[in-house]
Amino acid sequence: MTFHSQLLPLLAFTTTLGDHAPSLLNTAAPSMTSLIPSQAPTISTSTPTTTTNPTTVSPTMAPTITTTPTAMPTTRAPFEGCKDLDVAVNFDLDSFISAKWYVQQQQVVDYLPENRFYCVTAEYSKRGNPGLFRYEINVKNKAYEEDRTTKTEGNLCAYKTDNAKLAVAPCFLPRFAAGPYWVVVYDEEEGYALISGGQPNIKTENGCKNGDGTNNSGLWIFTRKQERNETL
């Protein structure tokens, strides 16, 4: 089995990880397959710097072409120099949430430190009652520490924003507080998925990567099987 060709240019291992786990916003999940941390993937999405409009004042904003000499340029902040990240096409949400996911690698983030990178899983289900904030999906994450007895468990909520783009938050928070959760690559037949916490916006020598805070942070490799397939 060959790991999907779309994943190869997306991964640059620059952050510490283990066999690991996903997390959606304030909870996470390390993976069940290894006790030895590896390195965390980042998404390489850098593009050559383009010449900015001389009328633009802010050096942090990349202007677009203006329609008239007197018009104010529109900008695309804050991802200057980072290519837009494409997500999975023809995404089937029902299929994606149909079974448990095991996290094989993940980026270290504030809400899931490296010492909890063991036996991390993520499960999703449709909500019967969307509640006050109209969340559509239940999210259940589990992660353990190395002793396999100390467990972190989080129950969150999510909703679909566009195609393969979701947003996740604690269920008591309104939608505007939810963090991005994008399915970049998904293959149910092969049994894997690559998840990004939104658009990578931090430039590095290897490309652009996500943050390591809460929202707009994180990168995860999911598999349907608990045991890691090194050839995938």
Over residues 12-35, the mean pLDDT reads 38
pLDDT at 136: 97
Percent of the chain's residues with pLDDT above 90: 52
**Model confidence at 52: pLDDT above 70:** no
- Please tell me which residue, 105 or 3, carries the higher pLDDT value: 105
**Model confidence at 54: pLDDT above 70:** no
Instruction: Compute the Cα dihedral for 162, 47, 61, 216 and give only its sign.
Output: positive
Q: Please, which residues have CB within 8 angstroms of residue 175's CB and are 6 or more apart in sequence? A: 133, 134, 135, 159, 167, 169
Phi and psi at 52, nearest 5°, equal -85, 160
pLDDT at 78: 53
Over residues 125-138, the mean pLDDT reads 96
Structural tokens at position 70:
């007197």
pLDDT at 112: 82
DSSP letter string, the chain: ----TTTGGGEEEEEEE-S---EETTEE---SS-SS-EEEEEE--B-PPPPPPTT---TTS-B---SSTTSPPPB-TT-TTBPPPP--SS--HHHHTSS-EEEEEE--BTTB-GGG-EEEEEEEEE-S--TTTT--EEEEEEEE-TTS--EEEEEEEEEEEETTEEEEE-TTS-GGGPEEEEEEEEETTTTEEEEESS---EEETTEEE-BSSSTTB-EEEEESSSS--TT-
pLDDT at 25: 35
Over residues 102-114, the mean pLDDT reads 89
pLDDT at 195: 97
109/170 Cα distance (integer angstroms) = 17
Which residue carries 């007895």 as its tokens? Answer: 149
pLDDT at 86: 96
pLDDT in tens, 171-228: 999 999 999 999 999 999 999 999 999 999 999 988 999 999 989 999 999 999 999 8
Q: Across 34-48, 64-78, 202-216, which has the greatest mean pLDDT?
A: 202-216
pLDDT at 117: 85
pLDDT at 79: 59
- Please tell me which residue, 8 or 85, carries the higher pLDDT value: 85
pLDDT in tens, 135-176: 999 999 999 988 888 888 889 999 999 999 999 999 999 999
- Please tell me which residue, 35 or 50, carries the higher pLDDT value: 50
**Model confidence at 36: pLDDT above 60:** no
- Work out the burial of residue 232: count CB atoms within 10 Å of its CB; fewer than 13 is exposed, 13-18 middle, 19 or more buried: middle
198/209 Cα distance (integer angstroms) = 10
